[in-house]
Amino acid sequence: MRILLRSLDRSPLGQVELADGDRPIRAKTDLGHDVILDWEAAHDDDGHLRRCPACGSADLYRHRRVPQITGFILVLVLAMTLASILGLVSGLSFLIAIAIIILIDVCILVLSPESLECYRCRTSIRNIRIAAYHQKWNRERDRTVNSGN
């Protein structure tokens, strides 16, 4: 698992890479910060993470990360569409090419990995199995969790 740690004021502290089952109490991030990780009751009975190891919050949400390539593909499709509108290129094969590129982009987006993020500190935990009970980000819950800040 890879943890992108943030402090309670959400400033980035760097990341740590942990092997499966490795639960160190202290860790040094790639940015040189010493961090304390709280694994007490962090996992449920099935071994899924249910609490943030950085701040101990039980309010976590699943987040699908958008790969950078999808932004590039979007710009490419917009440029191709603009070229088509201006009459620079045309034809059925051009439309098929755009459709294939869009299809590939959607596949990349759908198959991109999810991470588990903390509502409270925005620490991101990647390369883990995420329990089904973790929902996607919810504005109301975010407001409730962070109303004290």
The nearer residue to Zn ion, 27 or 120, going by C-beta atoms, is 120
60 binds Zn ion (CB under 5 A): no
Task: Decide: is 128 part of the binding site for Zn ion (CB under 5 A).
Answer: no
> Least separation, in Å, of the C-beta of 63 and Zn ion?
13
Q: Which of 3, 55, 73, 128 binds Zn ion (CB under 5 A)?
A: 55
Q: 27: closest CA among 52, 53, 47, 59?
A: 53
Cβ atoms of residues 104 and 88 within 8 Å:
no
Does 37 contact Zn ion by CB under 5 A? no
Q: Does 118 bind Zn ion (CB under 5 A)?
A: yes
> Is position 115 an interface residue for Zn ion (rule: CB under 5 A)?
no
Size of the site for Zn ion (CB under 5 A): 8
In DSSP terms, 26 is beta-bridged to 36
Q: Which CB, 108 or 134, lies closer to Zn ion? A: 134
Q: How far apart are CA 84 and CA 22, in angstroms?
A: 54
Q: Which residues bind Zn ion (CB under 5 A)?
A: 52, 54-55, 57, 118, 120-121, 123
